């Protein structure tokens, strides 16, 4: 949505593993807790909860919610997603205070391929796939 000017809203982050050694869910949650809790305090969202779904430690979902139970977003962890190296784009991002980062995302063409795969291979087709 950010890099391809999509009109479709997405309330989740899809983390597609590209490394051979993957962090555990706890390692990911520790990272989220370290970086999101201060932001939640500034925005006065209250305490954050990190809930998991799925039996596998490296696949499934992590839900980030406020203490009253309002879900903020979810993170999908999967090994199924594969990306051809030439279809990965880099986007330099400058922060407000001079910090910077490089964000990697799939190209429009790869995203279209993944949507076509979902449409053809999903047991129960969702309207958004079409």
Q: Measure the CA–CA gap between 80 and 13, rounded to whole angstroms.
A: 15
* pLDDT score recorded for residue 104: 79
> pTM for the complete prediction?
0.59
Using DSSP's 3-state secondary structure scheme, residue 73 falls into strand
* Dihedral sign of CA atoms 88, 92, 95, 100 in order: positive
Q: Which of 58, 64, 51 is nearest to 25 (CA)?
A: 58
Task: Report pLDDT digits (tens) over 5-51.
Answer: 666 666 667 666 666 777 888 898 999 999 899 988 998 888 999 99
| Dihedral sign (CA 55, 62, 82, 23) | negative
Per-residue model confidence as pLDDT tens digits over 82-98: 567 788 888 888 877 88
For residue 2, pLDDT over 60 is answered with no
Region class of 65: left (phi > 0), else alpha (psi between -120 and 50), else beta: beta
């Amino acid at each position: 949505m950010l890099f391809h000017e999509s009109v479709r809203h997405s309330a989740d982050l899809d983390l597609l593993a590209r490394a051979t050694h993957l962090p555990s869910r706890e390692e990911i949650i520790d990272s989220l807790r370290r970086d999101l809790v201060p932001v939640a305090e500034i925005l006065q969202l209250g305490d954050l909860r990190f809930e998991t779904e799925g039996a596998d430690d490296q696949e499934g979902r992590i839900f980030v919610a406020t203490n009253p139970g309002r879900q903020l977003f979810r993170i999908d962890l999967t090994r199924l997603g594969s990306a051809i190296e030439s279809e990965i784009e880099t986007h330099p991002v400058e922060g407000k205070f001079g910090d910077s980062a490089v964000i990697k995302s799939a190209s429009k063409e790869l995203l279209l391929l993944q949507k076509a795969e979902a449409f053809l291979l999903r047991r129960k087709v969702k309207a958004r796939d079409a």
